[in-house]
Structure 1
Amino acid sequence: MFQVGDKVLYPMYGAGIIDSIEEKEVLGVKGQYYLLNIPHVHMEIMIPVGKAEDLGIRQVVNCEIIDQVLSFLFQGDTDPVIFESNNRFYRDINKKKMKSGDIFQECEIIRDLTRKSKLHKLGMEDNNMLNSACQIITSEIVQAKGIEMEEAVEMLQEVISRAKEENEKQELLG
């Protein structure tokens, strides 16, 4: 069970803080609810305490994990299936990765779609998925490191830009 003030990640929405735990009656049934404030989207969500785990809600990772994620963001291979246009199978895999709330799987989405965008323009669905993954990662960086959103966005964009530059150098060398 989470406590008031805990920093948590709600997959598909991002990281926030539990403002309170309250007893509420919803549809005639009383229960305990987390009131989760997700600042980067200006949203407050009521989550049944008993369903938090099923929804993939977890503690925000620590600073060391954030640093590790940013260091290795573009490590690993991309499944070639992603480069096929309109591949619904791969989009479904990305949606599962997002819903998992696993920061490493969310980073795979950023890595793979960034690589795909180098070859050809992303479609609307892929572009939205990339933007959502970036938003969720940056919201977790904000909560983990206690920094402003602009600084977190800058950190992520710097990693992405550096990876693009390294990739271009490798292509020129051979």
Structure 2
Amino acid sequence: MNIGDKVVYPMHGAGEITGIETDEVGGVVSSYYVFRLPMGNMKLMLPVDKVEEAGLRPLITPEQVKDVVEVLTDETDQMQGSWNKRFHTNLERLKTGNIFDAAAIARNLSRQNSKKKISSGERRLLDLSRQILISELVCVCGKTPEEITAWVDELIGVPTATETD
């Protein structure tokens, strides 16, 4: 990984490696990748030797965007079990850093929420899955977060915020 690389940090989303810093924590000196995540304007640091363990991966290719579109426009998965069980299953899926899982979770929870309000826990998971999905699509497609958000909502088939006001 190099400075300037755009990568996906599971559970946070896509961003750019902006630097490598050395820091001392608990008497141990380590090197850290510094990431800037444009969504939320967040800065994260990850020890260089923990990259593989953290699941850092490159962005999807522009050709793979069509596969994400397929997931977003696909039928809603059957939502079975209690919200708590669904929450933990979806959380584990998000932790993998797989954009297709994030897209499916965003699709399923968005559609469920448009029919009947979901629990606050699932709402947080919906927001996180959308952040992860949208941040990567912003980096790959070169569009603004607002443009990608509207596009994702259109693909999922739920009313946008302006349509519900």
Q: What TM-score bracket applies, with the shorter chain setting the length? A: 0.7 to 0.9
- For the aligned residue pairs, the C-alpha RMSD in angstroms reads 1.9
**Distance in 2 separating the partners of 1:77 and 1:122:** 15
Aligned residues: 159
Q: TM-score normalized by structure 2?
A: 0.87
1:133-148 paired onto structure 2 within 5 Å: 133-148=129-144
Of 34-43 and 112-121, more deviation after overlay is shown by 112-121
**Distance in 2 separating the partners of 1:114 and 1:31:** 41
Conserved 8 A contact 2:76-2:107: no
1:7-156 paired onto structure 2 within 5 Å: 7-75=6-74, 78-81=77-80, 84=81, 86-156=82-152
Q: Please tell me the residue identity of whatever aligns with 1:55.
A: A
Between Structure 1 and Structure 2, whose CA radius of gyration is higher?
A: 1
**Distance in 1 separating the partners of 2:44 and 2:8:** 12
Q: Please tell me the residue identity of whatever aligns with 2:123.
A: N
Q: CA deviation at 1:29?
A: 0.9
Greater than 6 Å deviation, 4+ residue runs:
none
Q: Please tell me the residue identity of whatever aligns with 2:147.
A: E
Q: Cα–Cα, structure 1 residues 115 and 154, in superposed 2: closer, same or farther, change >3 Å?
A: closer
**Distance in 1 separating the partners of 2:2 and 2:141:** 19
**Distance in 1 separating the partners of 2:94 and 2:79:** 20
Unaligned stretches of 5+ residues in structure 1: 166-174
Q: TM-score normalized by structure 1?
A: 0.83
Q: Please tell me the residue identity of whatever aligns with 2:126.
A: L
Conserved 8 A contact 2:71-2:100: no
Identity %: 33
Unaligned stretches of 5+ residues in structure 2: 160-165
